[in-house]
Amino acid sequence: MTQGATTTKATFPSVEWFKAISAIVNDDPGYNHIGTCDATVGVRIPDLEKNYLLTFEAFEVSDVREVTPAGAEDTDFWLEMPYAKWKEMLENIKQNGKADLHHTLNTIDLEDPEGFARSHDGYRRDAFYRFNQTFQYFFDSSAKIDTAFV
Amino acid sequence: MADAAAPDIPEDLAQVAQEKSIPLELVRRAMALGFPVEAIKMQMSQPGVTAEAAEQFIAEQEKIRGAGGEISVPPELKAIADEFGWPEELVKRALKLGAGVDMLMNQIKAGIRPDQAERFIEQQERAQQGGMEAALDLSWMKVPTEWGIRVRPGKKGLTVGMINVGTYADIPDVWPYHTEMPRGAYPLAGIPTMGYTIYEKAELWADNCADLYEEAIQRRWRPATDIPWDTVEPLPDEIEKAMCQVCTYLCEKGLLAGDVVGKWLPEMSYGYHEVKLYLSTAEFDYARQFEIFRKRALSNGGGMGMQSPGYFHRAIIDARGWTETSAVLHILSNSFVMGIYQLGEYTAHNEAESLIYRLCMQDVARQLAYGVQHLKYFLSRHQDRRAEVHNYLNKGEAIFVFEEEKDTPIKEALIILLGGGTSGEQVADGMSKLEYFRTRWVRDYLARLAAAGLPDRREKIHPSLKKYVQQPEKTEAQAA
């Protein structure tokens, strides 16, 4: 992915931050090229008590909202790790223009015995793999904004 | 000078004659012979028609037709017709329609049967009497299927799932037709059976297959150009050899899965086209699996590795029913293929390998999704067959474990990739990580079976795999 001009500033984690990334991918032919994706994805940062729900629908991220922990888990799967690990991942993406080989979603998932991608349903969790490139592209797109950390 | 009794030539016919340089007198003679205006116009419009050819044709027709319009068959034509069993009346009808004597003789000698000619002549006679539209039968237009369907595209375009509306959304539990007739079409009596063997919906259906088909089409990728092959750089010899061994293993798996699904597709009746459509994309995925890993093996100074023992392959290909095949191929085998993809991405040495494994994960995840949803549907309709499914898995797991024990090359290749080399320390690290990954693979395999309706598989899993099963109590204790 080519890093474009930085025009947006947002703080992670926040609804604004996820909306900024959504706006970038929704307008990105490269994201569209990956193909359709239908999945609800939770984002959990337990030590900050922050939980979000991202809705991926067809060729866009159609909704972003802050939810309760239960709301984040009432999804196909949720991505959960401590704030410091989120920060490390996003800083790595910013530094390289995309995740390097040690910071891809799959790599982070494998390194955590509990898993980075979690679900209450073995079938729905596989959405993490079915649309993996979409989710990777989504987070890699954070390289295009200036992220401030709380 | 025109004969006063000669018919008037319509303006449009005269225009065509003028364009083709055919004298109007010839046109009048054709009309006097009784040929309809439209037929004359059509004949004149044919490419290559000249005034000379038209003169010759009309002269011949004037010879054939008597004053009262009576047709006489030239002796040379009658002799040929008699020889080939064409009734004289049929020959006369052909001549009346304007067939040339030479052309007719050639057709008869070429072996056109009288019954074939009869059908064609009837059609032409209808056309002459009622215009070209009368040449068409059109009874098929009254087909009693549901009509007036007008589905509009949604956010994902016009998808296979969206066109399942009205009676076209009726997917029967048993498909009663043995032919290739598409669902919703009107059946013809007497069509030979196509030899399908799966007619029961529960034996192949999955609620997600229409979506999976669209997903596979949408998310397709091209190994030749989508992978940044230029990022592949020379690796230490033992790492390249390990990588190539994994590639060889995955090539074999792709070829096998393609053969297995290809064998079963012709068994599936057409009433469930969503399944056939999805599985045809899975076939393509398997081909791409073979392609991509062969390309990786042959792109960095390495080559193909050792063949695997293949006991497990036989277990898959020898399964006697589709549900058994799907459970063993799509859930058991693919859970472990998915595990290798995860591991491959985890140990990737460059952007190309990382992307290859991520894209392959997507492909195999669809196969897992079909397998889980099919098994779920099957069990929901055949609760009495749960023990049978467990038996399929008992057999599959046992052979899988046996194969794993015998397949030293893949096991050692994975250890080397995970450990990063062949030193004692690296091997120990690789072995430890492989055990950790096995725990995850078994966890994911059991989670998929639980989602399919077999949560009790956890208790019944093969003893050699059971050691990797994490007990819920233990997990909670660890978390505490």
Ordered DSSP codes for B85-129: T--HHHHHHHHHTT--HHHHHHHHHTT--HHHHHHHHHHHHHHHH
Residues A109-144: pLDDT tens digits? 999 999 999 999 999 999 999 999 999 999 999 999
| Residues B264/B322, Cβ–Cβ less than 8 Å | yes
Which residue among B362, B376, B450 sits closest to A130, beta carbon to beta carbon? B362
> How many angstroms away from the CA of A110 is the closest CA of chain B?
8
Q: B150: exposed, middle or buried (C-beta count within 10 Å: 0-12, 13-18, 19+)?
A: exposed
Under 8 Å CB pairs connecting chains A and B tally to: 90
* Confidence band, pLDDT 50/70/90 cuts, at residue B480: very low
pLDDT given at position B5: 52
B365 interfaces chain A, CB cutoff of 8 Å = yes
B449 interfaces chain A, CB cutoff of 8 Å = yes
Residues B286-323: pLDDT tens digits? 999 999 999 999 999 999 999 999 999 998 999 999 99
Q: Tokens at residue B331, please?
A: 């859930």
Residues B218-230: pLDDT tens digits? 999 999 999 999 9
What is the value of pTM for the model shown? 0.81
pLDDT given at position B476: 46
Alpha carbon distance, N-terminus to C-terminus of chain A: 27
Q: Distance between CA atoms of A25 and A41, rounded to whole angstroms?
A: 16
Averaged pLDDT score across all residues of chain A = 95
* Confidence band, pLDDT 50/70/90 cuts, at residue B479: very low
pLDDT at B132 over 70: no
Check CB contact under 8 Å for A113 and B449. Answer: no
Q: Distance between CA atoms of B422 and B92, rounded to whole angstroms?
A: 92
Alpha helices in B301-407 (DSSP H): 311-317, 322-326, 334-346, 351-381, 386-406
Residues A11-45: pLDDT tens digits? 999 999 999 999 999 999 999 999 999 999 999 99
Check CB contact under 8 Å for A130 and B365. Answer: yes
Q: Distance between CA atoms of B77 and A69, rounded to whole angstroms?
A: 93
> How many angstroms away from the CA of B235 is the closest CA of chain A?
16
Residues B346-397: pLDDT tens digits? 999 999 999 999 999 999 999 999 999 999 999 999 999 999 999 999 999 9
Q: What average pLDDT does this structure show over B128-145? A: 78
Q: Distance between CA atoms of B60 and B122, rounded to whole angstroms?
A: 23
B342 interfaces chain A, CB cutoff of 8 Å = yes
Q: What average pLDDT does this structure show over B146-171? A: 94
Q: Distance between CA atoms of B354 and A106, rounded to whole angstroms?
A: 10
> How many angstroms away from the CA of A107 is the closest CA of chain B?
5
* Confidence band, pLDDT 50/70/90 cuts, at residue B119: confident
Check CB contact under 8 Å for A123 and B452. Answer: yes
Q: Tokens at residue A22, please?
A: 């959504």
Question: What CATH number has the domain spanning A12-141?
Answer: 3.30.1050.10
Residue type, B325: T
Contact residues on chain A for B154, CB-CB shorter than 8 A: 58
* Confidence band, pLDDT 50/70/90 cuts, at residue B475: very low
**Of A149 and B475, more confident:** A149
Q: What average pLDDT does this structure show over A85-105? A: 98
Residue A25 CA to its chain's centroid (Å): 12
3-state helix, strand, coil in chain A (%, to 5): 45, 25, 30
Residues B4-34: pLDDT tens digits? 455 688 988 888 888 888 999 999 988 888 7
Per cent of chain B over pLDDT 70 is 95
B364 interfaces chain A, CB cutoff of 8 Å = yes
B222 interfaces chain A, CB cutoff of 8 Å = no
- ipTM score for this prediction: 0.94
Q: Which residue has the tokens 């000698």?
A: B109
Map out the domains of chain A as residue ranges. Answer: 12-141
Check CB contact under 8 Å for A131 and B362. Answer: yes
Give the strand pairing for A77-80 and A39-45. Answer: parallel
Contact residues on chain A for B376, CB-CB shorter than 8 A: 123
Q: What is the DSSP letter of B220?
A: -
Q: What is the DSSP letter of B65?
A: B
B412 interfaces chain A, CB cutoff of 8 Å = no
Q: Tokens at residue A15, please?
A: 């609804």
CA angle B395, B396, B397 (to 5 degrees): 95
The CATH T-level fold of domain B201-479 is: Ribonucleotide Reductase, subunit A (1.10.620)
pLDDT given at position B259: 96
Give phi and psi for B98, each to the nearest 5.
Answer: 110, 10
B448 interfaces chain A, CB cutoff of 8 Å = yes
Q: Distance between CA atoms of A52 and A43, rounded to whole angstroms?
A: 5
pLDDT at B210 over 80: yes
pLDDT given at position B137: 78
> How many angstroms away from the CA of B154 is the closest CA of chain A?
9
Q: What is the DSSP letter of B68?
A: T
* Confidence band, pLDDT 50/70/90 cuts, at residue B44: confident
Interface residues of A toward B, Cβ cutoff 8 Å, are 34-36, 38, 57-60, 101, 104, 106-107, 109-110, 113, 115, 121-127, 129-133, 136
Instruction: Indicate which of A1, A36, A107 best probes the interface with B, i.e. most B CBs within 10 Å of its own CB.
Output: A36
For B271-296, give one letter per residue: b (16+ CB within 10 A) or e.
bbbbbbbbbebbbebbebbbebbbbb
| Residues B448/B460, Cβ–Cβ less than 8 Å | no
pLDDT given at position B117: 87
Residues B396-436: pLDDT tens digits? 999 999 999 999 999 999 999 999 999 999 999 999 999 99
pLDDT at B1 over 60: no
For B347-379, give one letter per residue: b (16+ CB within 10 A) or e.
bbbbbbbbbbbbbbbbbbbbbbbbbbbbbbbbb
Helix axis angle for B424-452 and B351-381, nearest 10°, is 30
| Residues A130/B359, Cβ–Cβ less than 8 Å | no
> How many angstroms away from the CA of B352 is the closest CA of chain A?
10
Q: Tokens at residue B145, please?
A: 């299927």
Residue of chain A whose alpha carbon sits nearest to that of B226: A34
* Confidence band, pLDDT 50/70/90 cuts, at residue B127: confident
pLDDT given at position A19: 98
> How many angstroms away from the CA of B192 is the closest CA of chain A?
40
Check CB contact under 8 Å for A35 and B343. Answer: no
Map out the domains of chain B as residue ranges. Answer: 11-135, 201-479
Q: Distance between CA atoms of A150 and B479, rounded to whole angstroms?
A: 27
pLDDT at B339 over 70: yes
Residue of chain A whose alpha carbon sits nearest to that of B156: A58
